[in-house]
Structure formats: structure tokens, C-alpha cells
A and B are shown apart, each in its own frame.
Chain A
Amino acid sequence: MTRTPMRERFYAELDPVLDEDPRVAVVLAVIGAAALADTSARHPDRVIDVGIREQSMIGVAGGLALAGMRPIVHTYAPFLVERAYEQIKLDLGHQDVGALLVSTGASYDASTAGRTHQAPADVALMSALPGWTVHAPGHSDELARLVRRESSASRRAYVRMSTLQNATAYPIDGNLHLVRGGAHTMPLVVAVGPILDTVLDATKDLPVRVAYTSTPHPLDVHGLRTLAGPAPTVAMVEPYLEGTSAASVAAALVDRPSRVVHVGVPRGTELRRYGSPKDHAAAHGLDAAGIRARLKEMV
């Protein structure tokens, strides 16, 4: 099946968003500017390309928000989140203003580009700052709905787009959704965003339940507690830095005995290889075989 790539879908959504809301301004640092040339021509004041200046990109977004506007800021994940991290902390958070940050290049999507273009810690970093909501949509329909909703909000939100997508879009309500049910005593596997279909494949003959969310932060603690039951075995499978949601899960289950496994991009070593995203997924144990091996230990 073919699905519109998230990045293409994001660019297509911006024109109507700019049409509908005069508060919205798109802030770029070259990346995306070519694809948005027509949009920029229609909204020359409100598509702002600062050049290759990521610190200014976030600072300008902070200033626009102080003027009452709604900035949408977009570039590659490492340049958006890591390059200008103090600007995100101070120019947005400390000023108590909002913005929508939308990254492209999730984790190892840019496998051939190497480490400079990869930021698997992005969700952990954004979650470490006060007041941010983090979305990892698993389908371009989810992405489009998230962009529409967050564009008209005023809070701080981070949306990480991925080249990987699931077959089915789920609601973007921030809740955990049970995708494969079963006895409530069965282990619960939580898949975040675009890793869901891989998790479903990895667990198709395992005695586990599978739940899904596109919003890892804040995690749906109520839903997790309800689905987990009194003495749960839980696996969090996240297509970014392993253990990113560990503190949230631990806090949710603090009142009951639990076994929790975290599966994600390993922290320990830098993978100095190119190849395809599939190659990287296999190397990180994030393909179906790798996830299955981790989950079989659990069951």
C-alpha cells in the first residue's frame, strides 16, 4: 500500500493552516524552503526562512510568540532539538510562550547521512523541559490531524515525523489504544508511533496484548494503569532512545509489583554504519526479529 510520506503531508497542510489562521507563521532554516516555495509566495510575510541559523530560528519563534503569533518551526531533528536546545529552553519555555516544533528525520531515518543527521534522543530531550507535549505520529493522517490541532493551540508541542508508517491511523487523543486484546493477565506491549506494525508482526503468535499511542509525553498514565492491571508485565517499545518513557512508566506503576522491559535505540554505542533504515533497525534490535527476541524473554 502507498501512504503519503509524512513530510510531504506536512508541507501540504501548511498552506491551508496559514490561510485559516493569521496568527500562524512558519519559521525555517533553509530545510523545507524549496518544498514550500509556493506556500511562501502566497504568504510572504509568514513563511520566514532565517538561513542556516538554527539559534535564530528558535529565537525568532520566541519573539513571534511574544507578539501573539503561533510559530511553526521545522527542520531536521538534530538541528531543531539539539543544535538550539538552550534556545528551546529559554526563548520558548522560560519566556512562557508556545510554539509547534515539527522535525523530520526520526532516529535513523537518515541512515545514509550518518550520525550528524540523527537524533534518537529527541523525545527524551524535549520531555526533559517543562510544559512540552511530544507526539510521534505513526501515520500521515495522524500527522496531519496533529499539525492542524497544534497549529490552532498555543502550547508548546513537538511533533517528530518519520519515514516509517503504520497501515492504520489511530486517534490522536493522547490515550493508549488497545490494538490487540486478550486476557488482562497477559503482558502488555505498548508501541509508540511508527513502530506499531513492527511490534504487531513481532508478537503475532506471542501471548501478549498490544496497545498504541502517538503521544509519548505526557504518557497516558491512567490508560496504562487501567490496561496494566494489578501485577503487570509491560514492555515499552519506542522507536527512539531506549528507556525514554521509563520514568513515566515507573511512576504510573509505583503502587503495584511490575516487570517492565524497555526496547528502543540503544544508548551505549554510536552505530558507525550507513545503509538503510532497515539495516539500522536490525542493528538496534528494532526490527520484528529483534523486538520478538526481547519480548520472548519477557513472556
Chain B
Amino acid sequence: MSTTTVPPPVLDLLARITGDEKHDPSAHSTLDVLWVLYDQVLDVAPDRLDDPRRDRFLLSKGHGPASTYAVLAAKGFIPPAWLDDVGSWESRLGHHPDRVLVPGIEIGSGSLGHGLPITVGLALGLRITHEPGPAGPAGRGGEADRDPRVVVLVGDGELDEGSNAEAIATAARFGLGNLTCVVVDNASNQLGWPGGISSRFAVEGWAATDVDGRDHEALRTALLQTEPDRPTVVVARTTDEFRGVDQSDTAETDPASKGAAA
């Protein structure tokens, strides 16, 4: 049933993208969150890609899509064979994902700071278009009467973009209980966030939780928790995973992935 680590077959899928020798740290920092979301939290499936009632996952931090691709392949959204030539002329999978090309990718992303504002509009739109019903705790299986959930993943470095500050305020003011923002904190932001990342959301009225980004049970609990009239932020710290040395910047500031630095 629920796992405590990402299953080896999923790691094998990831290795088909990144190569066997080492996992790309940027992609790896999001893998646990993504696996828990798709395995235990989100109410979405490959045969429901056009179902307006499905939950949505938006990868705002589009420069680390390998773990998303691997999880989508593991869950049957895309053929595993697609993982073998990411970035080629024939491939639908690029170093930044394109929703038009990839089943299960909800937004094209890469330039930072776009996912959270889009998520605010999507959560608003789903609240407007969804048949109203009594609010309840969101959970796996999609209770028939709850608004579809929208979960967006941003990086801590990505929060440098001021567009996120706009969206943090509006999401709270609009009372978007169907919106969850996961901040994968691999300590890659350039100038720091005094007071901590979650406090920036909390002061605007979000329900805020800090969790170990490697702890599946903690992630599951935090990601299933929503409140009816305010958005939720889950700050998932992943820095400890790199043997105490944060290597995550190396991939994210690599010129090859520039345009999406941090």
C-alpha cells in the first residue's frame, strides 16, 4: 500500500532519463514529493486526462522535470520508452515540460514564477465551474462533492520571483481551500528568506506546514490536509539528503539549464 521510499522501478525509470551514474539533484529533490502525490494523494489517472473533476498537479519549477516524467511513466500516463531520448527532435519530453506535448503535464513551465499565479486562476476557475457541495477533507478517491484540488510545486529559489508574492497574497485573499503549494526547499535561493519560507505564506493567511521532504508518511499527511477556506503550503526540506552538502545548486545554475536558474 503506501510506501516509505520511492520504489526501485521508479528509480529505474528516473535513471533512464538521467543516466545510471548519478541522479540529477534538482530532479531528485522533487521525486519523493511527486511519488507521494501521484501514489497517495491526487485523484487523477491516465484515463481521466480530460475529466474536469480530476485533481491537477502543476510543476512550476519546470527545470527539474525528470522526476515528474518518471512518475508519469510509472503511473501509466506516458510510455516508459519516452524517457530514453529526452530533449531529442523526436521526443515529446524536453528539459522543460510542455503540456501540449505530454499527457498528464498540466502546464508548460520553465521560466520561473508562472506556476503559482496560474494555479490561483485554475483553483478559482474550478471553484466557479464545479457544482457546489459541502466542503470536506480532501482525500484519495475524490469525494464527489469537493472542488478538484490544484497542487503546484515551486522551488525555494523560484520564490525569488516577485510574481509569487502577488499570488501568495491573492490565493489567501480569495480563500482558495482547493489550492496547495508545495515548496521544495533545497536551499538554492540566492539571498535567503529570513524568518523561514513557510512564515511568508502564513502571514498572508495560508495554512503552513514544514516537513522532511524525504519522509513519505509526513508528506502524505501534510498533502492530504486542506482547509475549506484558505490555501495550504507544505514546505518540504530536502537539503539533508545530499549527505549534508547541498549540491542542488550545481544543476540549477548550470548554464545548460539557464533561463531557469534557481
Contacts and interface: CB of A to CB of B under 8 A. Distances in A.
A48 B124 contact: yes
Given A63-B119, A63-B124, A91-B118, A56 B170 contact: yes
Given A45-B128, A66-B125, A86-B111, A56 B99 contact: no
B164 to A, nearest CB: 9
B121 interface: yes
Nearest to B167: A56
B123 interface: yes
B224 to A, nearest CB: 23
A61 B174 CA distance: 15
Interface residues of A, number: 30
Given A90-B111, A94-B108, A66 B170 contact: no
B59 to A, nearest CB: 13
B192 interface: no
Interface in B26-70: 52
Nearest to B165: A53
B57 to A, nearest CB: 13
A60 B170 contact: yes
Interface residues of B, number: 31
A46 interface: yes
B112 to A, nearest CB: 11
B128 A67 contact: yes
A87 B114 contact: yes
B108 A59 contact: no
27 contacts: A25-B125, A27-B121, A45-B128, A50-B166, A50-B170, A51-B166, A51-B169, A55-B113, A55-B166, A56-B117, A56-B170, A59-B167, A60-B120, A62-B118, A62-B121, A63-B117, A63-B123, A64-B124, A65-B121, A65-B125, A66-B118, A67-B122, A67-B128, A68-B52, A68-B125, A90-B114, A96-B99
Interface of B: 52, 98-100, 106-108, 111, 113-114, 116-129, 162-163, 166-167, 169-170, 174
Interface of A: 25, 27, 45-46, 48, 50-51, 53, 55-56, 58-69, 71, 86-87, 90-91, 94-96
